[in-house]
Amino acid sequence: MVDPGRDPAHEHPPLVVVGAGPVGSLLALLLARRGHRVALYERQHDLRRGFRENGRSINIALSERGLHALRGLGLTASILQGAMPMRGRMVHPESGPRFPLLYGRSAADVTFSLRRTYLNLSLLAAAEATGRVSLHFQHTLQRYDFASELAVFRDEATGDEVHVEAPIIFGADGSASALRASIVEVTGGDVRHERLATAYKELTIPAVDGAHVFERDSLHIWPRQSFLLIAMPNSDGSFTATLCVDLESRPGHPSFEDLSGEAALTAFFERHFPDVVPHVPDLAARLLQVPTGRLANTRVSPWCHERALLIGDSAHALVPFLGQGLNAGFEDCTALDRILDSEAGGPHPNWREIFRTFSRRRKPDTDALAEMSVENHREMRERVTDPRFVLEKDVEARLSARYPGEYVSRYQLITFTRVPYRVAQHAGRIQEAILSEVCAGVACPDDVDYGRARALVKERLRPMLAEYGLLQ
Ligand SMILES: Cc1cc2nc3c(=O)[nH]c(=O)nc-3n(C[C@H](O)[C@H](O)[C@H](O)COP(=O)(O)OP(=O)(O)OC[C@H]3O[C@@H](n4cnc5c(N)ncnc54)[C@H](O)[C@@H]3O)c2cc1C
């Protein structure tokens, strides 16, 4: 039995973080900057020695909550070097020309498309550079024993079992978390996977002579009711596209089950995404080679027990349709950091209490985000071509532009501010009611009574936004 994290020169074992994904790496960095020693354990080998993208979630839309976490560490400029700013959605309808739907209130409201691996590597390097983080690759957590406070890992290189002293342990080990299984087992807690019928495959749309084949400052979507294609720009001129289709057959809807051969896939793309086909050689063959991923919201209770805490996807994996999973995981880290700021325990914080406070404050927000992410899935694949929805979005954009200090849409609250997610959800419900009222019986945005709309905004929305300092 070897404990690679234990340093005999120190009285206390280091804090243990399981999972060196983006959230685990950021957490290790934040804890190290507070003066803690951290042992970071990761199942895979060291990404820095070369990595293979396995066709899974390789692009991230980084927005305000994620950016805020990086800003605090002075890492924004270096990380955004390889990122592509996106100003809005470019909708590719089934027929007719593509059209833009802008995201924000101003040109400054952009999200950034970047490769998750690149972000991960930058954070890992910054964590190691603190000199307080030891990295242990190819160590897979098997279980955590609360009685002995030992974390049991398998060393993937040797097959040995490794017992690590871990009186304080963080599970940043993603959506199939092993620490979560140990917490749930000992507490009799609950893990619910709310699986969508939709699954996904990723595809690269290559550059042509180094240039992007579609507008490079947009997130492109091809909404097709029960299925959807999304593409995000990369700095090398390519796009990373994600095809979201039902996994299993049901009458009248395409599914990956039906699209299991090259001929069927080619015909499907030629019919529904004809503007993509000329740009991707061997499209069907490529798609058949990449894995099919499932999409689910995972709700977990509790997030902590004793001095063990779940953070990031291990606590709240989300369907990706609001582009917030990683942003929310980074916000978890800043929320925990803030609680540590207010903690009087100095080098020996009361972790049990801190973990409880964190879970109590944060879980209602990620629960709200999970609900909104599923709603946005519906919006992206079905509603963006519904004339009623387009009218309401148009009126919403005009309200945002006319009264920028008074009207901030739900999407803007989620993406470009840091108001708690549950507040964004509440504001969204108020906005839906206002838009539906002022658009009733109206055929085009010019016919809307903006005076009445403004009065409703002032009465119902303003007090809430004022509370969060969002009004100019
Ligand atoms: C298709 C898709 C698109 C997405 N797009 C966006 C987006 O645009 N914006 C956004 O904010 N989010 C997006 N997300 C979500 C985002 O990818 C996740 O929220 C984010 O990666 C979570 O980070 P994490 O570090 O918590 O978990 P992970 O990234 O899953 O990292 C967990 C780490 O733990 C390691 N690990 C797992 N088990 C063990 C174990 N037992 N022992 C040791 N190590 C272990 C893993 O190898 C991994 O390195 C998307 C997700 C998908 C699927």
Residue 179 alpha carbon, nearest atom of ligand 1: 41
pLDDT at 240: 95
Residue 140 alpha carbon, nearest atom of ligand 1: 42
Q: Contact at 8 Å (CB) between 324 and 373? A: yes
What's the mean per-residue pLDDT of the chain?
91
Pocket of ligand 1 (CB under 6 A): 18-24, 41-44, 57, 60-61, 116, 140-141, 172-174, 178, 200, 242, 293, 312-313, 320, 323-327, 329
pLDDT at 47: 81
pLDDT at 66: 97
Q: How many CB atoms lie within 10 A of CB 183?
A: 26
Residue 325 alpha carbon, nearest atom of ligand 1: 19
Q: How far is the CA of 174 from the centre of ligand 1 (A)?
A: 5
What would the pLDDT profile of 348-403 be if each residue is shown by its tens digit? 789 999 999 999 999 999 999 999 998 888 777 767 667 888 899 889 988 988 88
List of long-range contacts for 208-212, beta carbons under 8 Å, 24+ apart: 208/237, 208/279, 210/236, 210/237, 211/237, 212/237, 212/238, 212/239
Q: Contact at 8 Å (CB) between 17 and 172? A: yes
Q: How far is the CA of 328 from the centre of ligand 1 (A)?
A: 11
Model confidence at 55, pLDDT cuts 50, 70, 90, reads: very low
Under DSSP, the state recorded for 448 is S
Q: How far is the CA of 236 from the centre of ligand 1 (A)?
A: 23
Choice from 25, 43, 86 to test ligand 1 binding pocket (greatest atom count within 8 A of CB):
43
Among the ranges given (67-71, 102-106, 163-167, 340-344), the one the predictor scored with the smallest mean pLDDT = 102-106
pLDDT greater than 50 at residue 1: no
Amino acid at 393: K
Q: How far is the CA of 432 from the centre of ligand 1 (A)?
A: 32
pLDDT greater than 70 at residue 9: no
pLDDT greater than 50 at residue 406: yes
pLDDT greater than 90 at residue 180: yes
Residue 295 alpha carbon, nearest atom of ligand 1: 53
Residue 189: what are its φ and ψ, rounded to 5°?
A: -75, -165
Per-residue burial over 292-315, b if 16 or more Cβ lie within 10 Å, else e, is bbebbbbbbebbbbbbbbbbbbbb
pLDDT greater than 60 at residue 6: no
Nearest-CA residue for ligand 1 atom 38 is: 173
What would the pLDDT profile of 422-459 be if each residue is shown by its tens digit? 999 999 999 999 999 999 999 999 999 999 999 999 99
